[in-house]
Structure 1
Amino acid sequence: MKNLVTKLFQISVLAVSVSLVGCVTMPYQPYARDVKKKGQSGGVVAMKLDHRDEDRAKAQSMMARTCQPYTVKVLEEGEVVVGQETTTKGNTSYNEGAKGSQVGNLFGIPVISGQKDPSQATETASSTTQIKEWQINYECEKTSKRASR
């Protein structure tokens, strides 16, 4: 009996260990990209609109690499519209019509009342959303060292 309890305990510890290994998540991958750059002159770097500190650090690193050996001077930064996305939804309804009833004859031709022809109706709705990103416009500051007097 004691041997069985020990075996069950070992199996449960192993199962918990395996499940914890499966819960490991991938680390966050920072996102920043060069929109345009001119070596040792400046450029524009873009990040996601809802950027994190890691994204900002990557952008700073990219700007510093472009400006080497000079320092980076941020001219402006903010939201920029880079595109748009349009979503359209449609709905078509069909009416098969209604059969009329004969109310009499006119010169041998049946007279029918209440008949409705088949029809269809289509409704559509579109919405357009702007796609934005955060952009940093910067220049490389070429500072000259002054001789001390």
Structure 2
Amino acid sequence: MFDVLRIIRDAIVVNPAPVRAGAKFEMAKRETERRGRTVKDRELFHPEAGDISLDAILGALSDPIRRDVLRRIADEGALYCGDLSYDVVKSTMSHHFRVLRESGLMHTEREGKHRRITRRDDVIEQRFPGLLAAVGLPPGKGRWPD
């Protein structure tokens, strides 16, 4: 009896069932189709003015790249994500943009394949007066009209 179980176990380990290439991708694709929308179609999360917390803002401002992104938007006006080039990989920049957006400091809107980013100075100033100026980020050109 134990020999039969060992033979079956060894057969499974040595000759596992073949997995088609891209099977995981197709399964994920079916799952998103089932939900009715793809990842690209999901709305981007932007917190309401009352939901913006000081902790989230200070956490977002703790990184020099994120502060520089906000500084450049104030100096140059609204930018596209691809306009900003730093010595980090693309996924890290995506993370920085998400942190800025979810903290309430930045607004992102889709324009086709591109993402246009602006600052939410009015909301931040209304919620925490003088905070942006205190950390060296005075208001500038790239403001989102909330």
| Shorter-chain TM-score range | under 0.3
Pair member with larger Rg: 1
Select the structure that is richer in strand: 1
Select the structure that is richer in helix: 2
- TM (norm. structure 1) is 0.26
